[in-house]
Amino acid sequence: MKTKTALLLIDVINDLDFPQGRKLLRYALPAARRIASLKKRANRADVPVIYVNDNFGRWRSDFRQQVAHCRRDGCLGRELAVRLAPGEEDFFVLKPKHSGFYSTTLDILLKSLGVVNLVLAGFATDICVLYTANDAYMRGYQIVIVSDGVAAEHANWNRNALAQMRRHLGADVRAARSIRFGK
């Protein structure tokens, strides 16, 4: 996995303002720590990092406003946004629905970067990660799922989704530390 790889961070800038947000946070926090370290290594290896992120139903704000919104005091997802703040060199794609590919510029961006391998991390494993992974698979991308860089509201939902992606999408499900970005 030398060149042509991208790291996709799915819905990591997230106010978690939904019924079970607190449940997700419990698993998302340790995942965020591993994602942050993986992202650092990706940046150093010139592997593009792409934030694929919901817009929380607001269409006018840009991504930097969303980051600010999530970093404000009292926001449940504050620590995620602090740990995973995007840098100048990172990309971002607005995702209106579950899948990062549905009605977005993601596929065109990946093609313009010559990317064929995708490393997926983020939340939630059994919703946006799963459906983004299937859309990536249908488009012919090779998929790696960061097993300890994803999270769902319940441990077994997480486990089942990882099993599904391994089974149907040919996904290589592995821990962050075992992912090499080469150089």
The span from the CA of 116 to the CA of 44, in Å, is 19
In the three-class reduction of DSSP (H, G, I as helix; E, B as strand; rest coil), residue 147 is classed as strand
Specify the residue, 125 or 147, whose C-beta has the smaller distance to its own copies. Answer: 125
Binding mask 109-148 for its own copies (x = CB under 8 A): x-xx-------------xx---x--xx-xx-x--------
User: What tokens appear for 183 in the block?
Assistant: 């150089």
Question: Which of 22, 103, 155, 178: binder of its own copies (CB under 8 A)?
Answer: 103
The span from the CA of 138 to the CA of 147, in Å, is 21
Question: Which of 3, 37, 43, 164: binder of its own copies (CB under 8 A)?
Answer: 164
Please say whether the dihedral angle defined by the alpha carbons of residues 53, 59, 65 and 69, taken in this order, is positive or negative. Answer: negative
Taking the complex as a whole, how short is the minimal distance between the CB of residue 177 and its own copies, in angstroms?
28
Applying CB under 8 A, which residues contact its own copies?
59-60, 62-64, 88-92, 94, 96-99, 102-109, 111-112, 126-127, 131, 134-135, 137-138, 140, 160, 164, 168
